[in-house]
Chains A and B, each alone.
Chain A
Amino acid sequence: MKYLYFPGCSLKGTGRAYEESFLAVFKALGLEVRELEDWNCCGATAYMSVDETKSYALAGRNLAIAERSSDLDVIAPCSACYLVLNKTQKGLKENPELRRKVVNALKAAGLDYKGKVRVRHPLDVLINDVGVEKLAKFITKPLKGMKFAPYYGCQVVRPYSTFDDQYNPVTMDKLIEAVGAECVSWPLKTRCCGGSLTGTLPEVGLRLAYILIKEAKKRGAGAIVTLCPLCQFNLDGYQDKIASKYERVDIPTLYFTQILGLAMGLPESELGIKRGIISAEAVLAGR
């Protein structure tokens, strides 16, 4: 199976570990992934509230490029990119006036947008296209004895639930079990990680992140596993600030592609394990 890949700015920046582990795992699974040439920033959720037409055109450009080169699905690992691209598809389908403006704008750039391409999430591809049985064949070093808390964040399940349930998503839980680890029962799977508030209103943002990491630790999770670069950054990056404001928790935050890579026996260096601020060394040593 072949896919196009839309990295987005995070996976080239703070979320580089996500890109490295994603590419490594997909390569190992024999899934050919080709980065979209000349992709541009997706505008993230902020731009849409500033200027809807321009933001749809900006995100729509990526979709037009994807459609131009082939009819393959395009994978957008970052939750924000995944949400924005899906929202653009839906918005342009339901709003003919907006669609006319965006299509004309893209025509001026020599692109023509039809809206046929499907935007996919890597987790959806792993669980639904590849399937847990096939994945099991690749698991050479199951992460026995490790307990992970699955954190989905918000954008992958709200406002649209595309490949999982809105209230109680389970695809990542299945992946954690597939890699041989234990999935901690954790009701805060989709509770807000603070998002951009950690930067703009720290007294609110940090408290939200603190609640998540505290409860995960309390329920015995060795690490939190997530699928969104911003959540990973909020939970992993601010633990010093949280420690000074509340209490020290110290729990690493890994990407689901990283733990899958480890279970498939891929070297840590290829999975960007070292990039985490809270070191996962101790936790992973036990495997």
Chain B
Amino acid sequence: MSENKPKQENLPRVGFYICHCGSNIASMIDVAEVQKYASGLPGVAVSRDYKYMCSDPGQEMIAKDIREHKLERLVVAACSPNLHEETFRKAAARGGLNPFYFQMVNIREHAAWVHEDKKSATEKAKDLARAAIARVRFHQALDKKRVPVDPNVLVVGGGIAGIHAALTLANAGKKVTLIEREATIGGHMAMFDKTFPTLDCAACILTPKMSAVKAHPNITLLTYSEVNKVEGYVGNYKVTVKRKPRYVKEDLCVGCMECIDACVFKEAKFPDKFNQGLGKRKPVYIDFPQATPKVVLLDPETCIELKTGKCKKSCAAACDRKAFDFNQKEEIKELQVGAIVLATGFKAFDAKRSPQYGYGRYPGVYTALEIERLVNASGPTSGEIVLRDGKHPKAVGIIHCVGSRDAKTNKWCSRVCCMYSLKLAHLIKEHSGAEVYNFYIDMRAPGKAYEEFYDKLLGEGVHFIRGRVDEVTDWAMTPDEEGKLVLRVEDTLAGFVRRIPVDMVVLSTGLEPQADAQEVRRRFNIGCGSEGFFQERHPKLAPVNTFTDGIYIAGACQAPRDIPDTVAQAGAAAAEALALIDAGFVELEPNTSHVVEEECCGCKSCVPLCPYSAITFDEVKKKAVINEVLCKGCGVCAAACPSGSIRQNLFEDDEIFSEIQGILK
């Protein structure tokens, strides 16, 4: 039962380096004192401090020291391993030392930046340094495993982000599968009329990309489909996809839409989700003229044949291509892909959650998406601004930040609703000539040519009132408010409460995560914030990566984002996926676990613990075996092996016990 202290003489020669990180560390930790202290610790052959360890001279110093002083271990006290562990491993390798004879000490994020007393921060740095120097003695030489990468890519979400990523990957010659939950790709952008700040028509810039997707030989488009299950690991994902039945054969239908005319329902009766319920549609329908694929589908909730089986199916009769199939079933497909780009987009804030604005109570109150459909030439009113009661509004109020920047609903700024409110103000003024009032808290126009667009609106005579609207009411306090919707607002610039009577109110609702964000992110094993936006690996250095290698994110699923930034991110995500695939292999971290065969008694305690079924039981040898490729390196089995016969590389018992001992002296 001996202590595991190695004898004094045969200690490996350790090089210890502490970084100033400019003043980030040096301002709160006495780096010289730590350097001096470490030089006295057993096994330490070299102890230096330097202003920027991660800089080229810093790394070069390490490599040179390793060669000159024949160092056998390396410890660097600087920032978080999540940031520069790789950098210093490479520096060690350049010096001829196995990169895993290295241990990093986090004294910036975990000490210098979070403590205010220099003495105790330095004390902490010394403890952590001592622990790392004690630990690194037990490090073993390891090397990263190489695993081939499947060249195919999966893009989830057919909005502008998914479309752009898929096209970029396909143009690079990769086989891409683009999956979209709705019956057509295009996402929210397809609903818009114009886009800011250039007022390009959304359809004009989106439709070519959608048809490019449809036509591209490298892209397999699976619409009306969802990802059911994801298995495997970076470079080798097996994805199960569920295709909902359209009751129409996709390869036969050419979108001539004659079946719609022939449907037993003479007029369109059912609320049309694409037009935010403003327009109507029949049980057989197509979302919008440029829908891609241009294929109709049947709504099982409202189609008589699907519900009762007793319809004369005039739609099928009218279809000379015999594309209808009333007993089409849900289809399950399996895909093998090396990388996955998630571009699942956002959900608009439900205006009913702010009852003070009267959405759903006053017919004159609309959401911004509804207005996008009204001003749209292919919308339910062919672009005419008309109220539900048929009248044309003379005054329109647009309320910014509905649901956003509000402790009761969503705390975050939705980044786009100022700009699209300006755009809608312009379109409404242009289409209806009405007086337009924009109620804003702060006018946020940060993008290229955004501020200029705001200036343009000021020039067009739109009224801008700075204040958060308290309520929308149909109570007329004075005769001129009769029959109007009155917006009560404290005009913070004028300094008094105003009541603005209007005929139509537009609620610029903010962006929030999709309703099923939590299930989706669990399915893809990535993180997300409590509100549901997917978590990027690093907000600045890795915005489109996630903590799970091989899975990338782009667009509004990660945070509220406008179209220019979304497309930029889609390109970045495609580039990251290409980098992974073109490398042809991926290096797996070597911190996997393995069973020491002669020590294993065959008690099978470990076998059920592995969620990746990397542990199997060899019935012949009566021993547990770990498949190193499937093992993700969590270490649960190493902790659980009752006879200590499973080791986890880089996190062996000796290493952690020595770290504990190092910390507590």
A residues touching B (Cβ–Cβ < 8 Å)?
165, 167-168, 185, 187-188, 211, 215
Contacts and interface: CB of A to CB of B under 8 A. Distances in A.
B475 A168 contact: no
A187 B355 contact: no
Contact of A165 (B355, B358, B471, B477): B355
A188 B358 CA distance: 13
A59 B74 CA distance: 68
19 contacts: A165-B355, A167-B354, A167-B355, A167-B356, A167-B471, A168-B355, A168-B356, A168-B358, A168-B361, A185-B361, A187-B358, A187-B471, A187-B473, A187-B474, A187-B475, A188-B473, A188-B475, A211-B477, A215-B475
Interface in B320-365: 354-356, 358, 361
Contacts of A188: 473, 475
Looking at chain B's contact residues, the main secondary structure is loop
Contacts of A185: 361
Interface string B487-511: 0000000000000000000000000
Contacts of B471: 167, 187
A165 B357 CA distance: 13
Nearest to A191: B475
B157 to A, nearest CB: 34
Contacts of B358: 168, 187
B389 to A, nearest CB: 15
B253 to A, nearest CB: 45
Contacts of B474: 187
A168 B358 CA distance: 9
Contacts of A211: 477
Nearest to A219: B475
A148 to B, nearest CB: 17
Nearest to B356: A167
B365 to A, nearest CB: 12
Interface string B273-301: 00000000000000000000000000000
Contacts of A168: 355-356, 358, 361
Contacts of B354: 167
Nearest to B472: A187
Interface string B651-662: 000000000000
Nearest 9 pairs of A and B residues by beta carbon: A168-B355, A167-B356, A187-B473, A167-B355, A187-B475, A165-B355, A188-B475, A187-B474, A215-B475
Interface in B399-416: none
A168 B472 CA distance: 11
A211 B475 CA distance: 10
Contacts of A167: 354-356, 471
Interface of B: 354-356, 358, 361, 471, 473-475, 477
Looking at chain A's contact residues, the main secondary structure is loop
B356 to A, nearest CB: 4
A168 B471 CA distance: 11
A61 to B, nearest CB: 34
Given A187-B471, A187-B475, 15 more contacts: A165-B355, A167-B354, A167-B355, A167-B356, A167-B471, A168-B355, A168-B356, A168-B358, A168-B361, A185-B361, A187-B358, A187-B473, A187-B474, A188-B475, A211-B477
Contacts of B475: 187-188, 215
A167 B471 CA distance: 9
A78 B356 CA distance: 25
Nearest to B408: A166
A261 B477 CA distance: 35
A64 B355 CA distance: 37
A188 B475 CA distance: 7
A187 B355 CA distance: 11
Nearest to A185: B361
Contacts of B477: 211
A167 B361 CA distance: 12
Output the residue of B354, B356, B474, B475 with the most chain A CB within 10 A. B475
A36 to B, nearest CB: 34
A165 to B, nearest CB: 6
B361 to A, nearest CB: 7
A167 B475 CA distance: 15
A164 to B, nearest CB: 11
Contacts of B355: 165, 167-168
A187 B475 CA distance: 6
A187 B361 CA distance: 10
A178 B356 CA distance: 25
A22 B139 CA distance: 78
A50 B124 CA distance: 52
A115 to B, nearest CB: 26
Contacts of A215: 475
A232 B113 CA distance: 60
Nearest to A211: B477
Nearest to B471: A167
B507 to A, nearest CB: 14
A276 to B, nearest CB: 25
Contacts of A165: 355
A188 B473 CA distance: 9
A110 B475 CA distance: 53
B624 to A, nearest CB: 53
A132 B213 CA distance: 54
Nearest to B474: A187
B191 to A, nearest CB: 28
B92 to A, nearest CB: 54
A212 to B, nearest CB: 10
A15 B74 CA distance: 83
Nearest to B357: A167
Nearest to A168: B355
B652 to A, nearest CB: 48
Contacts of B473: 187-188
A179 B353 CA distance: 28
A211 B477 CA distance: 8
A273 B613 CA distance: 75
Nearest to B470: A167
Nearest to B475: A187
Contacts of B361: 168, 185
Nearest to B473: A187
A3 to B, nearest CB: 30
A185 B477 CA distance: 16
Output the residue of A165, A185, A187, A188 with the most chain B CB within 10 A. A187
Nearest to A170: B355
Nearest to A188: B475
A109 to B, nearest CB: 39
Output the residue of A168, A185, A188, A211 with the most chain B CB within 10 A. A168
A191 to B, nearest CB: 8
A240 B361 CA distance: 34
A167 B358 CA distance: 9
Nearest to A218: B476
A215 B477 CA distance: 9
A194 to B, nearest CB: 16
B51 to A, nearest CB: 49
Nearest to B355: A168
A215 B354 CA distance: 24
A35 B363 CA distance: 46
A142 to B, nearest CB: 25
Nearest to A187: B473
Output the residue of A167, A188, A211, A215 with the most chain B CB within 10 A. A167
A42 B474 CA distance: 37
B484 to A, nearest CB: 12
A165 B358 CA distance: 13
A165 B477 CA distance: 24
Contacts of A187: 358, 471, 473-475
Nearest to B354: A167
B231 to A, nearest CB: 45
A44 B3 CA distance: 72
A165 B352 CA distance: 12
